[in-house]
Amino acid sequence: MSIFGAAVSARLFSVIRFESIIHEFDPWFNFRATKYLINNSFYDFLNWFDDRTWYPLGRVTGGTLYPGLMTTSALIWHTLRKIGLPIDIRNICVLFAPAFSGVTAIATYYLTKEIKDSSAGVLAAAFIAIVPGYISRSVAGAYDNEAIAITLLMVTFMFWIKGQKTGSILYSSFAALFYFYMVSAWGGYVFITNLIPFHIFLLILMGRFTSKLYVAYNTWFIIGTVASMQIPFVGFLPIRSNDHMAALGVFGLLQIVALGDFVKSKLPPRKFKIVMIVSLLIILAIGIAGLFLLTYMGLIAPWTGRFYSLWDTSYAKIHIPIIASVSEHQPVAWPAFFFDTHFLIWLFPAGVFLLFMDLKDEHVFIIAYSVLCSYFAGVMVRLMLTLTPVICITAAVALSKVFDVYLDFSSAIDPQRRNLTSLLSRLIVSGTFIFYLYLFVFHCTWVTQTAYSSPSVVLPSTSPDGSMALIDDFREAYYWLRMNTDEDAKVAAWWDYGYQIGGMADRTTLVDNNTWNNTHIAIVGKAMASPEEKAYEILKEHDVDYVLVIFGGLIGFGGDDLNKFLWMIRISEGIWPDEIKERDFFTPEGEYRVDSRASKTMKESIMYKMSFKDFPILFNGGQAVDKVRQQAISLEDVGTLDYFDEVFTSENWMVRIYQLKEDDPEGRSLKEVGDFERAKGKLTKKRKITKPDLTLRV
């Protein structure tokens, strides 16, 4: 109970420091989908066609999302309403992840209890409750699939371990049910789909086949697979995609092994050997040929790009820039392991070793889990999340083993066998570990508070008088869009902001974080990288009304569009290699610059012009320093914008919104209009340069 409390409260830092708000990017979509679900029926939700994103294509949202998260929170919302607590759906979504992480801790307790004993269980539960690697994805406001998925992962594994231990159909059915729930909630369910068969496969290889395994696996596989096919997004994948082939294969293998077992018990050993060899060869041949044939005929889906990048980290960079451009898909840096798990990371191998010493069936499962996950986590940051629970479990096993031995002071108390050295060593070892535990708790609190509790929509800063102020530019601009533009205005922005625009500004976007159509994203990238006239043409073709760019140069916000610009160029270069060339955006020396030495193509791109419009004027018309790139921009570097009107810029210039101009009534091109106006301006008034001394709130 207190662990549950700790797990929940540690995740509330963000609410206390900021407010009850949805974080990041993806959660905004989930939030919007949840709102749709509670305002419409469940069937409407499954058939939801969203015409407010991916304009003009739209998105078959109902069929391309994992509904588990939204249905769960909608269910909670309805239940609470029934019992007289009409809580706002936003608060349910914000507090969803902390609540479920409490459940995770409980599930981890029972799982570890099955592996070792209840003392290890308590430790494991305590670890998972506060380990930063898990907190990073489950703070209040991180309303994402992972928030519920890790809980379900643990619950499924718990029931699976129980099921395979006892051979109970009840537990395996529960495992299958939670597997189904997991499938409905997160794409990472594939991990379970492969891990459980892998476990069975290892056990068979080790000659540990029993009828308990047979019962448990068959129950789980059949119920789980049939149930998972009910999710629209998954559909027939379980029998077509290669990701799921292992489960199917092991299912077949298990039947054969069971048959072999049966035959073995009836036949004398020599005859059985021949039968076995012959039948194995035949099955192998048929199996491999069948797999090839089906893949060749296109009946089963090819391996997905994300999956390739699991095996070869450089695959994505070469072939699919859009996958590589997501920071979540980058390999983990080594310090991150320590940062996210602290001293558990070196208890982890020790725990695995201890499990090897024992090596019961369920230990094989944990070992397989840890080996697989360690590799995956090394490939993708995102998968660090699945590794964290097993680190907690094994570390808890190791630590409780240590404590079993060294906290046992019975011999020291017993006057007959008193031994000073043994007492001393006991004291030192247990003291050290208790100190480590103390450090761990301290580290976790610190990491959670500083690194993982920022909503990323709001940035903290200090006001001149030293009190905490918030930089709230994103919401300022999104809210402006929501209040003051046409309801079906189309906004072109880089895909990172798609969900936020959809969620906060409630306007139609061209591309968003559901990166299902690479070409469409490339179009936006191309427009951003093109000179004005061409960009205007591209954007007009797509009925765009507003263009939104993020500019961090004034306050030093590193994640702005100019820093993401190279990805836009690369992605569009992948589609139009003749028109967009990455090389053109670098200086002849091969540098990425935005100052006076920037290449001509760079300076002509609308991204450059839109980011820096008026920026040098702010610094008395002189040298303006871009605080992100530490380069000086002067007035001459920034070209004129004839095709776009600045309609809004947020307080710290972070979000700049431009409107596409109307065609000139006299039929001139907008460039001619601009040139004419400038010429007229020069004639009629000598440019009055006022130099107000502007102070900025940073």
Q: Does residue number 20 form part of the binding site for another protein (CB under 8 A)?
A: yes
Least CB distance to another protein at residue 171 (A): 11
Of 232-240, 317-325, 570-578, 646-654, the window that binds another protein (rule: CB under 8 A) is 646-654
Among 38, 46, 222, 470, binds another protein (CB under 8 A): 470
Q: Does residue number 272 form part of the binding site for another protein (CB under 8 A)?
A: no
Chain center to CA of 361: 32
Phi and psi dihedrals of 59, rounded to 5?
-135, 135
Among 1, 2, 85, 268, binds another protein (CB under 8 A): 85
Least CB distance to another protein at residue 48 (A): 21
Distance CA 251, CA 287 (A): 13
Q: Does residue number 634 form part of the binding site for another protein (CB under 8 A)?
A: no
Tokens 């310090």 correspond to 335
Q: Where are the beta strands (DSSP E) in 485-529?
A: 490-492, 508-509
Phi and psi dihedrals of 656, rounded to 5?
-125, 130
Among 23, 342, 475, 564, binds another protein (CB under 8 A): 475
The CA distances from residue 404 to 396, 421, 487, 586, 685, in Å, are 12, 18, 66, 62, 88
Of 176-184, 282-290, 437-445, 644-652, the window that binds another protein (rule: CB under 8 A) is 644-652
Q: Does residue number 23 form part of the binding site for another protein (CB under 8 A)?
A: no
* Best CA proximity match to 227, nearest among 184, 189, 168: 184
Report the residue number, 417 or 697, with the smaller CB distance to another protein: 697
Phi and psi dihedrals of 651, rounded to 5?
-55, -45
Among 119, 209, 436, 472, binds another protein (CB under 8 A): 472
Among 152, 606, 653, 660, binds another protein (CB under 8 A): 653
The answer to whether 539 and 576 are in contact (CB under 8 A) is no
Q: Does residue number 664 form part of the binding site for another protein (CB under 8 A)?
A: no
Among 263, 648, 664, 698, binds another protein (CB under 8 A): 648
Looking at residue 100, its amino acid is F
* Contact string (CB under 8 A) for another protein, positions 316-345, x = contact: ------------------------------
Tokens 């609470």 correspond to 80
The answer to whether 382 and 149 are in contact (CB under 8 A) is no
Phi and psi dihedrals of 469, rounded to 5?
-125, 160
Chain center to CA of 649: 30
Distance CA 242, CA 300 (A): 7
Give exposure, 461-494, as e/b (b: 16+ Cβ within 10 Å). eeeeeeeeebbbbbbbbbebbeeebeeebbbbbb
What one-character DSSP code corresponds to residue 332? P
Of 372-380, 518-526, 558-566, 610-618, the window that binds another protein (rule: CB under 8 A) is 610-618
Q: Does residue number 504 form part of the binding site for another protein (CB under 8 A)?
A: yes
Of 98-106, 400-408, 478-486, 620-628, the window that binds another protein (rule: CB under 8 A) is 478-486
Cross-sheet strand order for the sheet of 546-550: 508-509, 490-492, 546-550, 655-660, 644-649
Q: Does residue number 488 form part of the binding site for another protein (CB under 8 A)?
A: no
Report the residue number, 21 or 95, with the smaller CB distance to another protein: 21
Among 39, 230, 314, 484, binds another protein (CB under 8 A): 484
Distance CA 110, CA 155 (A): 9
Q: Does residue number 486 form part of the binding site for another protein (CB under 8 A)?
A: no
Distance CA 629, CA 612 (A): 13
Is the link from the previous residue into 56 a cis peptide, with omega within 30 of 0?
yes
Residue 184 belongs to what H/E stretch?
helix 169-185
Q: Does residue number 30 form part of the binding site for another protein (CB under 8 A)?
A: no
* Contact string (CB under 8 A) for another protein, positions 146-185, x = contact: ------------------------x---------------
Distance CA 555, CA 553 (A): 6
* Contact string (CB under 8 A) for another protein, positions 427-466, x = contact: -------------------------------x--------
Report the residue number, 273 or 691, with the smaller CB distance to another protein: 691
Q: Other C-beta atoms within 10 Å of 360: how many?
A: 13
Report the residue number, 116 or 656, with the smaller CB distance to another protein: 656
Q: Does residue number 627 form part of the binding site for another protein (CB under 8 A)?
A: no
Among 5, 56, 58, 86, binds another protein (CB under 8 A): 86
Cα-based torsion angle of the residue sequence 115, 119, 124, 125 in order, rounded to the nearest 10 degrees: 120
Q: Pull the structure tokens for residue 60.
A: 């078959």
The answer to whether 11 and 139 are in contact (CB under 8 A) is yes
Distance CA 637, CA 174 (A): 65
Looking at residue 127, its amino acid is F
Q: What is the distance between the terminal CA atoms of the chain, rounded to a whole angstrom?
A: 44
Among 242, 517, 659, 669, binds another protein (CB under 8 A): 659
Of 18-26, 33-41, 372-380, 392-400, the window that binds another protein (rule: CB under 8 A) is 18-26
The answer to whether 624 and 551 are in contact (CB under 8 A) is no
Among 614, 639, 664, 698, binds another protein (CB under 8 A): 614
Distance CA 472, CA 457 (A): 7
Of 15-23, 128-136, 254-262, 510-518, the window that binds another protein (rule: CB under 8 A) is 15-23
Among 272, 308, 480, 576, binds another protein (CB under 8 A): 480
Q: Pull the structure tokens for residue 432.
A: 């050290």
Least CB distance to another protein at residue 479 (A): 5
Q: Does residue number 422 form part of the binding site for another protein (CB under 8 A)?
A: no
Of 350-358, 382-390, 520-528, 613-621, the window that binds another protein (rule: CB under 8 A) is 613-621
Q: Does residue number 478 form part of the binding site for another protein (CB under 8 A)?
A: yes
* Contact string (CB under 8 A) for another protein, positions 45-84, x = contact: --------------------------------------xx
Q: Pull the structure tokens for residue 653.
A: 């210039």
Of 356-364, 527-535, 592-600, 611-619, the window that binds another protein (rule: CB under 8 A) is 611-619
Q: Does residue number 536 form part of the binding site for another protein (CB under 8 A)?
A: no
Q: Other C-beta atoms within 10 Å of 670: how many?
A: 19
Least CB distance to another protein at residue 234 (A): 31
Q: Does residue number 662 form part of the binding site for another protein (CB under 8 A)?
A: no
Compute how many residues bind another protein; rule: CB under 8 A: 38
Least CB distance to another protein at residue 539 (A): 16
Residue 484 belongs to what H/E stretch?
helix 473-484
Sites of contact with another protein (CB under 8 A): 19-21, 83-86, 170, 458, 469-470, 472, 475-476, 478-480, 482-484, 504, 614, 617-618, 645-651, 653, 658-659, 690, 692-694
